[in-house]
Every structure is written in structure tokens, then in C-alpha cells.
Amino acid sequence: MQEKIFSLHQTPKYMKVAIVGATGLVGGKMLQVLEQRGFDVTELIPVASERSIGQLVKYKGKEYKVVAMEEAISMRPDIALFSAGGATSLQWAPKFAEAGTTVIDNSSAWRMDSTKKLVVPEVNAAVLTKDDKIIANPNCSTIQMVVVLQPLHQKYKIKRVVVSTYQSVTGTGKKAVDQLMNERNGIEGEKAYAYPIDLNLIPHIDVFLANGYTKEEMKMVNETKKIMGNDSIRLTATTVRVPVMGGHSESVNIEFENDFDIQEVRDLLANSPGVKLVDNVSKLEYPMPLMAHDKDDTFVGRIRRDESQPNTLNCWIVSDNLRKGAATNAVQIAEYLVEKGIL
């Protein structure tokens, strides 16, 4: 069966595109996704930190030399896909925007800025206008959840969500991947985490806040409300790092105002953009990170009624955090801007 991947147009108009953070994990995925989705780039501008200037990155079989920020800005790209950290985005995204570039930023820098749009194309792309020169890409764990929540909310009206995440080490970056593999191979090396991650899990993602939650947990709360345009949805989260590659997983409990039929829920999700239903327990079919790896869809399964209270549903959501959770979502935003003539 052909994958159902949300895309408004597979061959957008030719574009001059900068990738800021081109030598990182997500930057590399952005290059891969641009090529695979057919986003025709007339001129690629890979950008990275000072120590990476002059390095070569590959795109469509060709090698491109990494340039500095100032040089990239002077080249006036149409779009700049940022994945270089919040401090870099705060410093440089406005400078690209001032030069006329539309920035799609993968860091947390602009997500809760009231003047910036926070976008998951399947959910709220329609909020974008020509005036949006810096667009925020949401947190990976939020993206995959709202892709599933949105069609359910439209049908049954969500009251409350309880989510526990099982997040891949790739969400931390190369240092964390190296720590996991070093531990598996008995090699001493640099640590990304305060504790071993192999044969372990760590209920701690990002920094702890005064309320006892982590920043990652509060991102899910606040970003979900902003993306879905509804402050009345109550949401609580526990986020956990697990020794997994390939994607993030989430156990999600959803309370609705209105009752539902389980088969109707399955049919609704099976026909929702960006969602792939994998839910046949009689054949042991359910979403797993191995299944989601290098895919753009968000997978959902283990759909069942919560028997402890009315109008409440349990489900299991899995997605590749480097693709739909980061690179693919950013490219989809770019596709939408081109398709709608916003650029």
C-alpha cells in the first residue's frame, strides 16, 4: 500500500533554499526530505557554525560547501530552514527575515512568541500569511500528537488529554546516540545524559521547572493549545527518554465532551491527512518505532475505550521524530507557502 503523506504539491516552483544547521542530524534529514518530496531547489545554501565552514554536504549527488551566516544572508534565499538551536535562531532568524527570507525555525525560540505562528500543516496551515517571515516548527512530541488529536477534536470535542511519551535518543542528538551505542559496546565516551541510557529509561527531558514538570512536558501543554487554537483543552504530560532509535512513542488518554464509536474513530483516523492506522491486535499489528523509522506518517493504534470513565479513549501514537517531528514538518510548511503563493 502506498504511504499516505500530506503534501499539497510535489513539485513546487524553483527555490533558493538555505539549511541552517546543515551538518546536524535534523539538517541532514531536511536535505533528505527536500529531495525525496521533490522540492526543486535551484540553489542550495548549507549554513553551519564557524567550525563547520568549508565542510561539504551532499544533496542530489552533488557536494555543496558550508558557508557562514553573513554570506548566506547576502545570497538572499527564498526560504531558510533553521535547525541550529534556540540561541542561534534568536540571533540570526530576524536578520534573514530582514533580508526578505522566510524562516521556518525548528528550535523552541519562537514557538510561544505571540507574534509568531506555530504550525503543523495538517492542523493549522491556514493561519499563515505573507506577513509571516519567521514561522515556528513545534516540538517533535507535540507534532505527532496533534496530528491525531485534531480530527478527533473536530468530531467529538476534546476536554482533557493525559500523555506519557517514550522518546528516542535521536531527539537529544548525535552525542546521545553515541552514548547509547558506546554503552552497548562497552566503550567509554562522552555522556549526553546524567545516567546510563542503555537498559534504562530516564523520566527527564529538558530542564525541570518550578512546578516540578520538565520544560519538554510544558512545551506539549502550551504548544498543543496554541496549534489547535483552543485554551480550554486541559493537558498533562510525562516525558521519558528511552534507549530507542527510529522514533518517539506516546500513550495518549483523551476525554471528549461527546461519546464515540470505536470503529468510527478508526475510520476517521484512517482517512485523516498524515495519519496511518495500524490497529489489528488479533494479528499483533500496532505502531512501533521500527515501523515509523524514516517515514513521514504518524502511526496510531491500540485504540480502545477507557473503561474507567465515560467518553474517554486510549491510543498509542508513533512517529519518526527527525522526520515528521522536525524536518518533514518544516518542508511541508514550505510546500504550503509555495502552493498558496504566500512566498
What CA–CA distance (Å, rounded) separates 200 from 174? 18
Q: Residue 312 in contact with residue 152, Cβ under 8 Å?
A: no
What CA–CA distance (Å, rounded) separates 58 from 68? 17
Q: Based on the residue annotation, tell me whether 9 is a catalytic residue of this protein.
A: no
Q: Based on the residue annotation, tell me whether 140 is a catalytic residue of this protein.
A: yes
Coil, helix or strand at residue 103: strand
Q: Residue 80 in contact with residue 101, Cβ under 8 Å?
A: yes
Q: Of the listed 9, 153, 248, 293, which one is catalytic?
A: 248
What CA–CA distance (Å, rounded) separates 265 from 101? 41
Coil, helix or strand at residue 142: helix
Q: Of the listed 9, 140, 204, 293, which one is catalytic?
A: 140
Cell of 328: 518533514
Coil, helix or strand at residue 74: helix
What CA–CA distance (Å, rounded) separates 48 from 21? 5
- DSSP-H helix ranges across 49-169: 69-74, 86-98, 121-124, 140-156
In which residue are the cell numbers 503534501 written?
7
Q: From residue 287, how far is each of 166, 247, 280 by CA, in Å?
A: 13, 11, 10
**Burial label, 87 (beta-carbon count in 10 A; 0-12, 13-18, 19+):** exposed
Q: Is the dihedral of CA 200, 279, 292, 120 positive or negative?
A: negative
**Burial label, 287 (beta-carbon count in 10 A; 0-12, 13-18, 19+):** buried
Q: Which residues are catalytic?
A: 140, 248
